[in-house]
Amino acid sequence: MSGVLLQPQVLPALALRQVRVTERLSLNDMPRLVEALPPEEGNAEPVACELTVAEEDGGGVLVSGSLATRWRLRCQRCLGPVEYPVDIRFRWRFRRDDENGFLLSDEPMRLADFVEDELLLELPQVPVHARTEDCDALVRRYSADPDAGASADTRRPFAGLKDLLGDGGP
């Protein structure tokens, strides 16, 4: 089936047929996620979604599957771009009477909203390069030698002032 995630669906009806979904969701379909992602070039990759909607013992519904994409985030240590591969396995339990998990109802709901929630949870609060050596070369230089950033121009800001004003006055 296609077009399942974005259309409102009655979950128990999908589960009855044990629907299997393989779809790609565009970021345009997930405005909350777009707002949370840095507006970097390259954050346009769609999300590959694979999921199965099945009945569970006790009248519940289990939606399980995987989400995969790749984000381009900003490293909070060196401010350089970080590639962030996303590979999520999820199991969403829907029950009519359970306080844990999601409430199962016959109201149509959009599975894309649950996908977006799952992705928002995955988004790191403080993304950094996994290895410090991957951080920007500039940062490495500064941390190795704190004075490395002071160039000849900035070290003596008033060096030329004496010449400019003249030496002996009027």
Binding site for Zn ion (CB under 5 A): 75, 77-78, 129, 135
Least gap, CB of 78 to Zn ion (angstroms):
3
Nearer CB in complex with Zn ion: 131/162: 131
DSSP 8-class letter at 29: G
Residue recorded with tokens 């969403």:
92
Least gap, CB of 33 to Zn ion (angstroms):
23
Least gap, CB of 85 to Zn ion (angstroms):
16
Nearer CB in complex with Zn ion: 72/129: 129
Q: Which residues pair with 87 in a beta bridge?
A: 68
Nearer CB in complex with Zn ion: 71/92: 71
Number of H helices, E strands in the chain: 6, 5
> Rounded to a whole number, what is the largest CA-CA distance in the chain?
99
Nearer CB in complex with Zn ion: 77/95: 77
Least gap, CB of 142 to Zn ion (angstroms):
13
Residue recorded with tokens 């089936």:
1
Q: Is 115 exposed, middle or buried (0-12, 13-18, 19+ CB in 10 A)?
A: buried
DSSP 8-class letter at 32: H
DSSP 8-class letter at 132: G
